Amino acid sequence: MFKRLLRRPAVQNTLGWSVAQYMRLIKRTTRWEIRNFERVEHLIGQDKGIIALTWHSRFMMLISAWDTNLQKPHVMISRSRDGDIVSAACKSLGITALRGSAKKAGKAPSQKSKGGDAAAAAAMTAIRAGGCVVITPDGPRGPRQRLGDGPLRLARATGAPLMPCTFAVARRKEIDSWDRFILPKLFGTGLIIWGTPVSIPADTTDSQLDALRLSIETDMNDLLAEADTALGHTPILPDAVTTQ
């Protein structure tokens, strides 16, 4: 019964609107500290496309790091029932949703993603128009805090820099989900940490791409651990790597 209700557009739009309003409240009622913004300041608002990366568990804090007046945001969202709700939330926030799931880390190259080709094409168009494409590269179903090669291939194809970013809040509820999703509580303190941007030349080989993927993944998890530790939480570890 409940799952059937979630398939109804009216229900999805209502839930999405509610999520959007809560995200706005998080941004406005949290006392945010921002670290390392100087690493990315020269890249934002310059009419050149960029790709921002953050882990799926921190999605509710996403707009707290961004001023939509600086650069048009686009967010990669899966073609799933949950994705329909998130897409509705994005619409309420004035964010463009790019629907499709990138290939996950560990999957064979022959395995196709759900709408990934169409989403990648839309992302390339957005980047070439000077927009910001936001990707939660371990969503929608994990493995947690593992980076696939989709964002790196997008960066190689477009020349757009990859900009890791992470979030933490002192007052929060940790959901028992695959990603250990963080639901921030209002009227607390928060921390946003920017990583070092990475540009990927067009002639980068696939083997070089994999080395860069591991380096960026490690950087993102180090940032997450730094943010959580600074606000009194035990860092959430990534899923163990499995071999195919």
Rounded distance between C-alpha atoms, residue 157 and residue 200, angstroms: 9
The answer to which of 71-75, 208-212, 223-227, 234-238 has the lowest mean pLDDT is 71-75
Helix, coil or strand: residue 83: helix
pLDDT value, residue 79: 85
Sequential DSSP letters for 12-58: HHHHHHHHHHHHHHHHHHSEEEEESGGGTTTTTTSSS-EEEE--GGG
Whether 185 contacts 204, CB under 8 Å: no
pLDDT digits (tens, 9 = 90+) for 123-145: 999 999 999 999 999 988 899 99
Look at residues 74, 84, 78, 124 and name the one whose alpha carbon lies nearest to residue 100. 78
- The pTM score is 0.90
The H-or-E segment that residue 98 falls in is strand 96-99
Q: How many percent of the chain have pLDDT more than 90? A: 76
| pLDDT of 1 over the 70 cut | no
Query: What pLDDT, in 10s, does the model give residues 179-231?
Result: 999 999 999 999 999 999 999 999 999 999 999 999 999 999 999 999 999 99
For residues 117 and 134, give the distance between their C-alpha atoms in angstroms, rounded to a whole number.
16
pLDDT for 114 equals 55
**CB-based contacts of 123: which residues, under 8 Å, 6+ apart?**
74, 76, 98, 133, 154
Give me the residue spans of the domains in the chain. Answer: 23-230
Provide the pLDDT for residue 67. 73
Name the β-bridge partners of 96. Answer: 74
Higher pLDDT, 137 or 106: 137
Cβ neighbours of 242 (radius 10 Å): 9
33 confidence band (pLDDT: 50, 70, 90)? very high
Average pLDDT over residues 38-60: 93
